[in-house]
Amino acid sequence: MESLLHAIPLNGVYLPDFPWRCRYPREEFILENIKWKSEKKLETLPRPIAVCGPSGSGKSTLLKRLLAEYRDYVDFSTSHTTRKPRPNEIDGKDYHFVSREEMQKAIANGEFLEYAEFSGNIYGTSKNAVKQIQKNGKLCILDVEMLGVKNLKNTNLNPKFIFVKTPSLEVLEKRLRSRNTESEDSLQKRLARAKEELVYGETPGNFDLIVVNDDLEDAYRQLKEFLFPDIEALKKRMH
């Protein structure tokens, strides 16, 4: 039987007899990213991937492509949000769309690994969303804004961090406008936040990879190249 154990170490060292919960008493979330493949062989899943970048930088576009190509190995952690769905968005797939009251209750219940207020709405990654993907042995991808990145750095999730940006703020604004999903107010809030996110994103040490999404093909190639070792390792394991 597949047995999921407590957790995994920021430094990648497995401590067989050392309960994670004891080492990090304030962290309730027990990461199930380690499993027994056979009685003797202990394997770790690749570290999750947290993708961040200003709204309109192309995160969803890149991640949708990645998921379409590597559906068997990669899965997207569906966040909760209090924002209203856009016309093409599917509840439970793009987001779990909830009311502010429901979200606040779930947060109070300790159901979230991280959450943050962004442009007048709450967004959060539930512990369950990540857990389900890891149980299926897939590479877990999260799409989070800057505060989410900072909060994730204080959990034991230990993701790799990718920052996606456009070549300039002008290009960002143009893409956000042509996406045609935001009111002028929401657009301005997103652009203001983008300036802060760019400062954080460009600070050395905050991200493991920065992708400049100018030409989409080129940006996607950079993303794939970065994930290649993890995806190959999962392919070998599954076949």
Choose the catalytic residue: 23, 86, 100, 177: 86
Task: Please name the amino acid found at residue 110.
Answer: G
Q: Candidates 116, 141, 164, 187: give the one binding ligand 5GP (CB under 6 A).
A: 116
Task: Please name the amino acid found at residue 74.
Answer: V
Q: Candidates 213, 223, 230, 234: give the one binding ligand ADP (CB under 6 A).
A: 213
Q: What is the footprint of ligand 5GP within residues 17-56 (CB under 6 A)?
A: 55
| Closer Cβ to ligand ADP, 56 or 201, answer by number | 56
Q: Binding partner of residue 125 among ligand ADP, ligand 5GP, none, CB under 5 to 8 Å per kind?
A: ligand 5GP
213-232-113 Cα angle (round to 5):
65
Q: Binding partner of residue 82 among ligand ADP, ligand 5GP, none, CB under 5 to 8 Å per kind?
A: none
How far apart are alpha carbons 78 and 42 in whole angstroms? 28
CA 152 vs CA 116, 156, 189: distances in Å: 11, 8, 23
Active site residue 190: yes
Is residue 137 a contact partner of residue 234, using CB atoms and an 8 Å limit?
Answer: yes
Identify which of 106, 118, 119, 130 has the alpha carbon closest to the alpha carbon of residue 29: 130
**By CB under 6 A, residue 161 contacts ligand 5GP:** no
Give the x-and-dash track for 42-61 against ligand ADP (CB under 6 A): -----------x-xxxxxxx
Token digits of residue 168 = 């300039």
Q: Which positions touch ligand 5GP (CB under 6 A)?
A: 55, 59, 79, 83, 114, 116, 118, 123-125, 143-145, 147-148
